[in-house]
Amino acid sequence: MIKVGYKENWVDKLYIPAILQGLWVTLKHLITPQKNTTIQYPEYKWKPYPKYRGAHRLNKDEQGRVKCVACEMCATACPSNCISIIPAPAPWDDRERYPVKFEINMLRCIYCGFCQEACPKEAIELTEVYDFAAHSREEMIWDKEKLLEMYDITINGYYEGKPGTFIYTKKKKGK
Ligand code: SF4
Ligand code: SF4
């Protein structure tokens, strides 16, 4: 709690009560069992809470088509300027445009979720996926195909277990 206008009294100026308070916290952590804060990744993986903002996906409609209508609202809302879209006339009757190119630079993204908030079609979504990496910067620019593939692999959940828990995912070497 922040105390506005708090003035130090003579006890505060001694600093000893504050030091003792700090030492008490340290002692408490030493003598009471704590939950694990370090895990043996990748043998164990953490299941994020539902509102976690990880890697993006482009959602598909019930016919398996990209939901995106290339309105570019997400790119406009993006504070990192990391979404790039090239629209084209849609080959379907139910919309005017669709994206021929849709790219997100995952290295520039700050995972704020503004793109998801701005999307009028619920076409872009941040998933729970946090463990993605690449060998080059180019690979971290995710194109439309990759973002649609993310839909396929995350639609039924990605990590196992209950949110906030660690799940053993594979056997350690030699076992
Ligand atoms: S999460 Fe934020 S920074 Fe990343 S693409 Fe969306 S709007 Fe841009
Ligand atoms: S993802 Fe949503 S906001 Fe972005 S261009 Fe497509 S429909 Fe528009």
At 24-33, the pLDDT tens digits run: 999 998 888 7
H-only helix segments in 8-60: 10-14, 16-31
> What is the pLDDT, as a whole number, of residue 166?
83
User: What DSSP element (H or E) covers 75?
Assistant: helix 73-77
Please list the ranges in the chain whose pLDDT falls under 50. 172-175
Kindly give the distance from the C-alpha atom of residue 93 to the centroid of ligand 2, in angstroms, as a whole number: 18
Q: Does domain 56-167 have CATH number 3.30.70.3270?
A: yes
Ligand 1 test: best mutation among 51, 108, 110, most atoms within 8 Å of CB?
110
Ligand 2 atom at shortest distance from the alpha carbon of 58: 1
How is residue 98 written in tokens? 């669709």
Relative to beta strand 56-58, strand 83-89 is: unpaired
Q: Residue 64 has what pLDDT?
A: 96
Q: How far is the C-alpha of 33 from the C-alpha of 18, rounded, in Å?
A: 24
- Calculate the alpha carbon distances from 149 to 108, 143, 167 in Å: 21, 10, 24
Angle at 146 between CA 41 and CA 148, to 5 degrees: 110
Q: Parse the chain into domains and list their residue ranges.
A: 56-167
pTM of the model: 0.79
Mutate to test the pocket of ligand 2, among 85, 96, 150 (most ligand atoms within 8 A of CB): 85
Interatomic CA distance for residues 141 and 135, integer angstroms:
12
Contact predicate 124/116, CB 8 Å: yes
Q: What pLDDT does 174 receive?
A: 42
| Token pair 């006339």: residue | 89
β partners of residue 98: 88
Q: Which residues pair with 33 in a beta bridge?
A: none
- Cβ neighbours for 173, distance < 8 A, ≥ 6 positions apart: none
